[in-house]
């Protein structure tokens, strides 16, 4: 009986340790700092080495598309502004003044080379009037 229990304890330990290891190694590998644009600019030059995620509002009239589908634009947090280059699928809601979330590397040439672009709903509609208070859309 005791032997059986011991085997169980060992099995449970092995599983727990394995999952903990998977979590640890996975997190270590996939970790990405989420910075504001101000923080990004402050952390030059160390920031050039690592992947980071940054969010900011798209500066109106800065979106430039070339004919192979790459886009360039600027995002700002109203303190600092950076240039972003992105090649990939552009979300439908991406436009001037939306909040864009980009992930990639900020190069020494002061260009944020993004491989991920997410867009969130523009806030201007949400607090424009009593009608358009903060509200969600599933």
Partner 1 sequence: MVETGSISILLAFAISTYVLFASLYGAKSQRKDFIKSAENGAIAVCALLLIATIALLNSLISLDFSLKYVALNTSTDLSKIYRFTSLWAGQAGSLLLWCLVLSIYTSVVVIQNRNRSRQLMPYVLATLTAVSIFFIFIIAFVENPFQKLPFTPQEGRGLNPILQNAYMAIHPVALYLGYVGVTVPFAFGMGALLSGKLGDEWVTYSRKWTMLTWTFLSIGLLLGARWAYLELGWGGYWAWDPVENAAFMPWLTGTAFLHSVMIQEKRGMLKKWNMSLIIITFFLSIFGTFLTRSGIVSSVHSFAQSDIGPLFLGFIAFILLFSFGMFIYRLKDIESENRFDSILSRESAFILNNLLFLGAAFAVLLGTIFPIVSEALTGNKILVGSPYFNHVNVPIGLLLILLMGVAPLISWRKASKENLFKNFLYPILMGLITVVILTAIGIREVKAILAFTLCTFVTTTVFIEFYRGVRVRSKRGENALLALVRLVSRNKRRYGGYIVHIGVVLIVIGITASSVFATERKATLGRGEALQIRDYTIKYENLKRYSTGAKDATAAELVAYKQGKEMTTLTAEKNIYKYEGNREINQETEVALLSTLTDDVYIILTNFTHDDKATFRVFINPMVSWIWAGGIVILLGAIVTIYPSSRRE
Residues of the shown chain interacting with partner 1 in the complex, contacts defined by CB under 8 A: 1, 4-5, 7-8, 11-12, 15-16, 18-19, 22-23, 25-27, 29-35, 53, 55, 65, 67-69, 89-93, 95, 101, 103, 118-122, 125, 128, 130-138
How far is C-alpha 129 from the chain's CA centre? 30
Minimum distance of partner 1 from residue 115's CB (angstroms): 11
- Closer Cβ to partner 1, 33 or 107, answer by number: 33
Rounded CA-CA distance 3/130 in Å is: 70
Whole-number CA gyration radius for the chain: 22
- Closer Cβ to partner 1, 4 or 109, answer by number: 4
- Closer Cβ to partner 1, 52 or 84, answer by number: 52
Instruction: Give Cα separations from 83 to 30, 37, 55, 70, 112 (angstroms).
Output: 24, 11, 12, 14, 6
Minimum distance of partner 1 from residue 98's CB (angstroms): 8
Residue 72 near residue 83 (C-beta atoms within 8 A): yes
Minimum distance of partner 1 from residue 108's CB (angstroms): 22
Rounded CA-CA distance 77/37 in Å is: 6
- Closer Cβ to partner 1, 107 or 127, answer by number: 127
71: tokens are 């886009």
């Amino acid at each position: 009986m005791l032997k059986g229990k011991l085997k169980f304890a060992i099995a449970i330990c092995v599983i727990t340790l394995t999952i903990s290891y998977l979590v640890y190694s996975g997190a270590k590998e996939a970790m990405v700092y989420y910075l504001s644009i101000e923080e990004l600019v402050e952390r030059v030059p160390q920031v050039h080495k690592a992947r980071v995620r940054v969010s900011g509002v798209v500066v109106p009239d800065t979106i430039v598309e070339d004919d192979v589908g790459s886009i360039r634009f600027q995002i700002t947090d109203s303190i600092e502004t950076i240039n972003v280059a992105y090649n990939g699928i552009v979300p439908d809601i991406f436009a001037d003044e939306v909040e864009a979330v980009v992930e990639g590397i900020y190069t020494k040439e002061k260009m944020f080379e993004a491989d991920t672009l997410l867009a969130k709903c523009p806030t201007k509609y949400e607090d424009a009037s009593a009608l358009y208070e903060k509200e969600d859309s599933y």
